[in-house]
Chains A and B, each alone.
Chain A
Amino acid sequence: MSSIEHLHRSRFRASFPDPEQLLHAVAHLRAAGHRVLDTYTPFPVHGMDEALGQRPSRLPRACLAFAALGLALAAGLQIWTSAVDYPLIMGGKPLLAIPAFIPVAFELTVLLAGLGVVASFFVAARMRPRLRIPDLHPGANDDRFILAAELAADVQFPAVARELADLGALDSSLLVEDRFRRDGAFWDRPAGVGMLLLACLPAFLLLALVPVLNRDFQRRNQAWDGGMGAPLSAQAYDASGVLPGGKVLQAPPPYTLSRRGEPPLAFAAGKAEAERAGRELQNPYQPTQARFNRGKLVYERVCATCHGREGDNNGSVIVARGAFAPTVLVSPAVRDMPDGRLFHVATFGGPTKMKGYGDLLSREDRWQVVLYIRELQKAAKPVAAPAQATGVQP
C-alpha cells in the first residue's frame, strides 16, 4: 500500500491552452527528469510521439496479420468452393476466376484488418469498457491540452507548478485520485468477461427470437420489395411462351444419338412398341446392393416427385397439386408388366402425361430404376382392392 501512497503524492496534471505549449512543457519536464505519463489532446498533435519518447506503435503488425488472415480466408473460401468443392461453370468463366474473387477478398481483408486492429488496440492498451470513466481534468473533453506526469525524486511539486505556469499552464495540481485504483465503486470498475456477456444478453435474446419471428420477416420482405415477391420472370411449372407445346423440357429431335456412346434403341414411342419391348427386352443387370443403391438414388431424385417415394403416389407433388394421379407403381397391373415394358416407359414416357427420360438418364440407370421398382413392389403391402385408377397406363 505504501507504494500506492507514493504514487498518489507524486503524480500531477497540468492543462495548456494550445498544443505548442504542451509540446514545450513535455520536452521541459522530460529534460528535468520527470516522467511524462501521457498527454490528452482534442486532436493528434504532430511530434507528440517523439516528444514523449514513445516507440513506434506495434499495432500496424497486428493490422497486417489480420489483413493477411482476411485475405487468406476470403481467397481460400472462394477458391475452395468455386474451384474444388463445387466446381460449377458460371458465365463461361474459368473455375479459378481470380478477378471475380478480388472484391470479396478486398472487403474481407479490410474488414478483418479494421476490426482486428481495434480489438488489438483494446487488448494491448488493457482497456475494457466501464460505466464511468474517471475525468483526468474537466477540460479533457473540451479544448484543453493536458499532460499527466510523475515527479522526479526529491522534487517538490510547488516548484514544478511554478515552472509549468511560466511555460503557459492554465492550471496544475497533484493528482489525489489514483485513476488506476481497483477498489472503486461498481461503476468505476472495468467490466469483466461476465459483465461483457451480460451486456450482450439483449442481442442474444433478439437472436433467439429470430426463428420465432422468421415468418413475419419474410412477409415484410415481400411487402418492402414487391419486385422480388412477384418477378416478371418465368416461374417453375409455367408453360413456356416460346417452346412448342408450351413444354420447357423438349424431347430431343429424332435420330439424336446418346453422347454416352449407347447404340440407338430399336424401338419407338407408343403403346404397341411398349408391349413389343416387354416381349423382346430383358433386364441385362442382376440385382446387387450397388445397383439397388443407384436405382434408389435415381428413383428418389427423378421418379419419386410424381410417383411417391414408395411408388404408391404417397407424397406425390402432382397429386398434391390436384393435377392428376400417376400410375401406382406398386399396383398389381404394373407388377405384372415385364421389365422391358417398364424400361420402355422410363425411356419414351407414358401414353398420357409422363415424360420420357431416355434423354436424361443413362440406359444403365433406367434399368436400375426398373430393378428398384421391383424391390418397391416386393416391399409394398398387397393392395387390398384393385379400386385404383389402374386404367391409366404407365
Chain B
Amino acid sequence: MSEIFTVPARDLTKSGIPTLADIGERLRGGAWAFVILGALCLGLGLVLQAERGWGNLLLTAFNLACVGLGGLFLLAIQSITGARWSDPILKAHRAMPALLPVAGALMLLLAFGATTLYPWARPDAASHEALHGRLGWLNPPFFFVRVALIFAAWIWVGRRLTHQGKGAAPFILVFGLTFSLANFDWLMSLEPVWSSTILAIYGFSGMFLQGIAIVTISAIVLRRVGLLPAVSKAQNHDLGKLLFAFSCFWAYIFLSQFLLIWYANLPEETGPMRLLLQGRWMPLFYLNLILNFGLPFVLLLQRRAKTNEAVLLATCTLLLAGRWLDLYLQIMPPVLHGLGPVFGPAELGGILLQLGLGHLACWPVFMKDANPAQELPQAG
C-alpha cells in the first residue's frame, strides 16, 4: 500500500533543499544569540521589577520541563500501546527529554528568588493566616530538595526510556505522582489562599498539547527537508486529529476547573480566577481560550485542513503561543499582587530563553535520531 499512495521522496542530491545539518548549523548561531539576549533581558527585568523577572524565570523553567515531559509521555504511551504508526513521522519526542536537566537547573536558580515569588518563603510567613499549618511542607529548604528529587526522578526514568526503551509503565506512574506534586508545589503555592484539585490534570492537558504541537512541527520540518520518504496523507491527518482532540481536551479540563470555581464562588477557590475575570487581565483570559481552543478548533475542523501542512504549522504556532499565555496567566496574577499584565524585557527574555535553550538542548539528539545514515542519501 505504501508504494502506491505516498508522496515520492525528493532526490536530495539534486535539489537545492537544505539538509537537516544545514538547518541546524544555521539555527545554532541564532539560538546562542537568543539565549544570551534572553538572559540579558531577563536580568534587566529582574533589576526593573524583581517579581516579574523571577515569575518569568519560573515560567521558563516550568515550561521547558513540560516540553521534556511531553516528549517522554508521548514516548511512554507509544511504548505501552506498541504504536507503530508514529515511528516514521515522530522523531522530536526522543530529543525533547534532553531539556529536563536544563529546566532543573533553572528551577533550582529560583532558590535566590523564592522570597519574591512565594509568600510562604518570606520571613513573615508564620504570621500569614492562610499558611497556618502548611509551613512544615512549604519551606525553602524542603521545597528545593523536592525540586531536585523530582527532576532527578524525571531525568533518571527518562534516560532509561529514551536510551533503553524500558520502563514506560513505571514512568507513567512516577510521572503522574511527581507532575501533580510539581503543579501543586510550584504553581498553586504562588497564591496561598487558593486550591484547585484539578490543577495537575489541567497542567497535563496543556503540556501534552504542547508536546504534540512540537512533534507535529518537527514532522513537517523533516518532510520539508525530504527526510520522510514514505509519509502518506493519512499520517498527517493523524497528527491533525491528535492536535484537534487534545485542544478539545484542554478546553474540557479548562471548563471543568473554571465552571466549578465560578459556580461555587468560594473565597478559598476563586483566588487568582477572580483577578483573571475582572480588570486588565480579562482580555488575556479570553485570548487564552481563543488561542488554545477557539482558533485550533475552527482551523482544524475540516479534514482537508488536518492534512494541510500550512494549516497544521499555523495551528501549532498558535498553540505554542497559547501555552506560554496559559502559564503566564497561572503564574503572574498572584506574583504581581494585583498589577496588570505588561509585556516587558522579562517576558521577552523568558520567551527567547525557551526558544534558544530548546534548540540548543534538543537539536543534537534530534539530528542523531532523525538522520540515521541508512535512511538518508548523503548530500554531496
- The reply to whether A99 and B259 contact each other, CB–CB distance below 8 Å, is yes
- The reply to whether B259 and A19 contact each other, CB–CB distance below 8 Å, is no
The 8 A CB mask of A74-92 against B (1 = contact, 0 = none) is 0000000000000000011
Interface residues of A in 4-31 (CB under 8 A from B): 19-20, 23-24, 27
Partner of B1, one of A46, A99, A102, A103: A46
The 8 A CB mask of A103-131 against B (1 = contact, 0 = none) is 10000000000000000000000000000
Q: Is B142 an interface residue (CB 8 A)?
A: no
Q: Is B308 an interface residue (CB 8 A)?
A: no
Q: Nearest CB to that of B255 among chain A residues?
A: A102
- The reply to whether A56 and B232 contact each other, CB–CB distance below 8 Å, is no
- The reply to whether B4 and A99 contact each other, CB–CB distance below 8 Å, is no
Minimum Cβ distance to chain B for residue A107 (Å): 12
Minimum Cβ distance to chain B for residue A22 (Å): 9
Minimum Cβ distance to chain B for residue A173 (Å): 25
Q: Is B265 an interface residue (CB 8 A)?
A: yes
Q: How far is the CA of A24 from the CA of B262 in the complex (A)?
A: 58
Most chain A beta-carbon neighbours within 10 Å: one of B5, B258, B303: B5
The 8 A CB mask of A318-330 against B (1 = contact, 0 = none) is 0000000000000
- 19 A-B pairs in the complex with CB atoms less than 8 angstroms apart: A19-B1, A20-B1, A23-B1, A27-B4, A46-B1, A47-B1, A47-B4, A47-B234, A50-B5, A51-B4, A56-B303, A92-B265, A93-B263, A99-B255, A99-B258, A99-B262, A100-B259, A103-B255, A103-B259
Q: Is A287 an interface residue (CB 8 A)?
A: no
Q: Is A382 an interface residue (CB 8 A)?
A: no
A residues adjacent to B (C-beta < 8 A) = 19-20, 23-24, 27, 45-47, 50-51, 56, 60, 64, 91-93, 99-100, 102-103
B residues adjacent to A (C-beta < 8 A) = 1, 4-5, 232, 234, 255, 258-259, 262-263, 265, 301-304
With A46-B232, A47-B234, A56-B303 as given contacts, are A102 and B4 in contact (CB-CB < 8 Å)? no
Minimum Cβ distance to chain B for residue A38 (Å): 18
A47-B234, A51-B4, A99-B263 known; 11 other A-B pairs, CB under 8 Å? A23-B4, A24-B4, A46-B1, A46-B232, A50-B5, A56-B303, A60-B303, A91-B265, A92-B265, A99-B262, A100-B263
Partner of A47, one of B232, B259, B262, B302: B232
Most chain B beta-carbon neighbours within 10 Å: one of A45, A47, A64, A91: A47
User: Which residues of B are found within 8 Å of A103, using beta-carbon distances?
Assistant: 255, 259
User: Which residues of A are found within 8 Å of B304, using beta-carbon distances?
Assistant: 56
User: Which residues of B are found within 8 Å of A93, using beta-carbon distances?
Assistant: 263
- The reply to whether A46 and B234 contact each other, CB–CB distance below 8 Å, is yes
- The reply to whether B5 and A91 contact each other, CB–CB distance below 8 Å, is no
User: Which residues of A are found within 8 Å of B265, using beta-carbon distances?
Assistant: 91-92
Q: Nearest CB to that of B252 among chain A residues?
A: A106
- The reply to whether B259 and A102 contact each other, CB–CB distance below 8 Å, is yes
- The reply to whether B4 and A91 contact each other, CB–CB distance below 8 Å, is no
User: Which residues of A are found within 8 Å of B303, using beta-carbon distances?
Assistant: 56, 60
Q: How far is the CA of A99 from the CA of B255 in the complex (A)?
A: 8
| 9 pairs of A and B residues whose beta carbons are closest in the complex | A47-B5, A23-B1, A47-B1, A46-B234, A99-B262, A99-B259, A20-B1, A50-B5, A102-B255
User: Which residues of B are found within 8 Å of A24, using beta-carbon distances?
Assistant: 4
Minimum Cβ distance to chain A for residue B16 (Å): 31
Partner of A91, one of B1, B258, B263: B263
Q: How far is the CA of A51 from the CA of B1 in the complex (A)?
A: 9
Q: How far is the CA of A92 from the CA of B304 in the complex (A)?
A: 45
User: Which residues of A are found within 8 Å of B5, using beta-carbon distances?
Assistant: 47, 50-51
Minimum Cβ distance to chain A for residue B87 (Å): 15
User: Which residues of A are found within 8 Å of B258, using beta-carbon distances?
Assistant: 99
Minimum Cβ distance to chain B for residue A316 (Å): 42
User: Which residues of A are found within 8 Å of B263, using beta-carbon distances?
Assistant: 91, 93, 99-100
User: Which residues of B are found within 8 Å of A99, using beta-carbon distances?
Assistant: 255, 258-259, 262-263
User: Which residues of B are found within 8 Å of A100, using beta-carbon distances?
Assistant: 259, 263
